[in-house]
A and B are shown apart, each in its own frame.
Chain A
């Protein structure tokens, strides 16, 4: 991929493996993507594609042992995050990069009022008094649309959507440059989903925050992202601008994903899933990891690992079908 100094985040050849008794789990393999300030990238893939592991890898929150970043670099704002000490990394977490979690029912501490939980992140990263931090927390609550009277309430007194708003307030309290949202709306129902996405979009644009939106929902991608990276078996198989990818998908897996969404215009009886299952990360297929499920697989697909090939401006595919035609 092209080197670009304007990039806020540049992930190159990232591989994260888990070494357990039964063998090595290759959760993330040779993953590449980059992100400019203010940009939103959608990380899309099936369950087990390594989306969350990638997110935790960026935050250096992979539990080690058994997990280990075996290769690659994560350049954030000119620094390689993988080379930072734990103490330096703590200063980054929450103030530079922060995270919104999937399930707001479990990601808040049940024994503290929400206001204190937002104030905590401010106190951790900025030299402020407790009173100032609490004031900031109340401002944040106001921003995410929670009334001031409820600031002293405990998480169990809120509904799921409200709790996710608190999660957003915590994540954005220190104006991070990068926000990682790990399926932030999966646990919410559809009407609340739209509200929460709208809120995140608004706050993100207000502060020019970059965002990594992890999801398996292409609808959310269409709504909120600028760029999309399709993940399969721990690596990015196709990445492009949202429009380019939706109009002109190249990789057989991406095409399969789009085909598996039922079309309301046509009267379809059966869904068209991609045949087969995501491979076992402990035993990935040789060559292109998608070849056993691919309709266009050629004999060399099981031998040669495809490289990133540019098919259009900013549109990269990892597939042998495009390799000879490309660079």
Chain B
């Protein structure tokens, strides 16, 4: 081992990416998310406004409830607004909600969990009992209660959804920290004079990151779904904001009359994005999980590699086959 030639060096990030990209479904998921980000960034280019009203609210009363056509790809809604345009602009809202909710709940949850896990005792008890209380209320009910109390607005939706997401991070992190703080390398770090804060930040948290990254990815999807649900029942964003859940809610009234396109497309948009994020999250989980360090190599690929290497050795062409 000690005399072995140094292998080609890879940073941890590259190592994770190498494993991630072997998983085709995860790549599809990532593709969907990249597409959504592009749609959100270039929404004003793809679906421009007309100077009077923004792209998502150009009403054309003479042209309402049209079925999909070359002119209106996804048809128009009851106010004659182009459904495709609204979905494109809606991806901005969804991304914003997802990103803000995840960052806020992650920062709060991770901090609480780390403090509870590291210090234990009274701090642990107080923090985790509060977390338990939040957890005792069903997530969607909590979101409904908070947004009903605060009133409909983008910020309030984020708060309502974010509070419910805190416990997952806090518990996850606490569990990690409790087991990590007993590790010898933490004691070793203490023995070189590191402070508690430094121990948590430099030595414990980096070792606890992978489950948090996965939780965050999944949390992103949940946040979008819950925000859409809130808008659907009228507690989310106010019209004319092109929120996907609100669009579903608008279209619902016309569904029985045969106007399927007003619900189908926003519904598909929600399903698609959540599917994409979850697929990417699964891929990330596999790529980050050290127990799968064999690299998620498929049986077939392994067999092929093995045969090829045996063949090579038998030929005697290259006896120095890497294992």
Seen from chain A, the residues whose Cβ lies within 8 Å of a Cβ on chain B are 59, 61, 90-95, 98-99, 101-103, 106-112, 120-121, 124-125, 149-150, 152-154, 157-159, 161-162, 167, 170
The one of A92, A95, A101, A153 that contacts B187, using a Cβ cutoff of 8 Å: A101
With A109-B203, A150-B6 as known contacts, state yes or no: A101 contacts B184, CB within 8 Å: yes
Interface code B182-213, partner A: CB below 8 Å = 1, 0 otherwise?
01110111111111000000110011000000
Q: Is B291 an interface residue (CB 8 A)?
A: no
Q: Which of A102, A107, A124 lies in contact with B193, CB distance below 8 A?
A: A124
List 5 A-B pairs, Cβ < 8 Å. Answer: A101-B187, A106-B184, A107-B185, A107-B188, A109-B203
Query: B71 at the A/B interface (Cβ < 8 Å)?
Result: no
Taking CB atoms, residues of chain B closer than 8 Å to A110 are 185, 207
| Chain A residues, Cβ within 8 Å of B206 | 109, 111-112
Cβ contact within 8 Å between B193 and A95: yes
| Max chain A C-beta neighbours (<10 A), residue from B190, B191, B195, B206 | B191
B193 lies within 8 A of A106 (CB): no
A61 lies within 8 A of B187 (CB): yes
Known: A90-B195, A124-B194, A152-B9. A109 touches B189 (CB 8 A): yes
Q: Are B184 and A103 in contact (CB under 8 A)?
A: yes
Q: Is B2 interfacial (CB 8 A cutoff)?
A: yes
Chain B neighbourhood of A157, CB < 8 A: 7
Q: Which of A101, A111, A153, A162 is the one whose CB lies under 8 Å from B207?
A: A111
Name the B residues within 8 Å of A162 (CB-CB).
1-2
Q: When chains A and B are docked, how far (Å) is the Cα of A103 from the Cα of B192?
A: 16
Task: Decide if B202 touches A120 in the complex (CB within 8 Å).
Answer: yes
Contact of A108 with B185 in the complex, beta carbons under 8 Å:
yes
Which residues of B come within 8 Å of A, CB atoms?
1-2, 6-7, 9, 12, 183-185, 187-195, 202-203, 206-207
Q: Which among A59, A91, A99, A111 is the interface contact of B12 at CB below 8 angstroms?
A: A111
- Determine the residue in chain A with the shortest Cβ distance to B188: A107
Judging by beta carbons under 8 Å apart, are A98 and B191 in contact? yes
12 further contact pairs, Cβ within 8 A, besides A61-B187, A109-B189, A125-B193: A90-B193, A99-B188, A106-B184, A107-B184, A108-B185, A110-B207, A111-B207, A120-B192, A121-B192, A153-B9, A158-B1, A162-B1
Q: How far apart sit A172 and B71, CA to CA, in the bound complex (Å)? A: 75
CB of B204, distance to nearest CB on chain A (Å): 9
Residues of B within 8 A of A153 (CB): 6, 9
Give the Cβ gap from B178 to chain A, nearest Cβ, in Å: 14
Q: Which of A92, A94, A159 has the most CB of B within 10 A?
A: A94
Minimum C-beta distance from B210 to chain A (A): 10
Whether B191 and A109, one on each chain, are in contact in the complex, defined by CB atoms closer than 8 angstroms, is no
A109 in contact with B193 (CB, 8 Å): no
Contacts of A167 in B (CB 8 A): 188
Give the Cβ gap from A117 to chain B, nearest Cβ, in Å. Answer: 9
Bound Cα distance from A125 to B192, whole angstroms: 9
Q: List the A side residues contacting B184 at CB < 8 Å.
A: 101-103, 106-107
In the assembled complex, which residues on chain B have CB atoms less than 8 Å from the CB atom of A61?
187, 190-191
Known: A94-B192, A94-B193, A152-B9. A109 touches B185 (CB 8 A): yes
B185-A59 in contact (CB<8A): no
Chain A residues with CB under 8 A of B185:
106-110
* Least CB distance, A23 to chain B, in whole angstroms: 21
Instruction: Indicate if the CB atoms of B193 and A121 lie closer than 8 Å.
Output: yes
Which residues of A have CB within 8 Å of B202?
120
Residues of chain A within 8 A of B188, CB atoms compared: 99, 101, 107-109, 167, 170
Min CB distance A179 to B, Å, is 11
* Most chain B beta-carbon neighbours within 10 Å: one of A93, A111, A120: A111
* Complex contacts, B2 vs chain A, CB 8 Å: 159, 161-162
A90 to B187, CA, bound (A): 13
- The closest CB in chain A to the CB of B192 belongs to A94
Nearest B-chain residue to A111, judged by Cβ: B206
> Could you tell me the distance between the alpha carbons of A99 and B195 in the complex, rounded to whole angstroms?
16
- Tell me the complex Cα distance, A108–B192, Å: 12
Q: In the complex, what's the smallest C-beta–C-beta distance from B108 to chain A, in angstroms?
A: 24
Contact call B192/A93, Cβ cutoff below 8 A: yes
Complex contacts, B12 vs chain A, CB 8 Å: 111, 154
CB distance from B166 to the nearest CB of A (A): 25
Taking the nearest CB of chain A, how far is it from the CB of B287, in angstroms?
Answer: 15
Q: How far is the CA of A84 from the CA of B9 in the complex (A)?
A: 44
Q: Which of B1, B187, B188, B203 has the most CB of A within 10 A?
A: B188
A268 to chain B, nearest CB (A): 38
A65's nearest neighbour on chain B, judged by CB, is B121
Write the chain B residue with the least CB distance to A167.
B188
Query: Is there an interface contact between B191 and A124, defined as CB atoms closer than 8 Å?
Result: no
CB distance from B7 to the nearest CB of A (A): 8
* B5 to A, closest residue via Cβ: A149
A61 to B187, CA, bound (A): 8
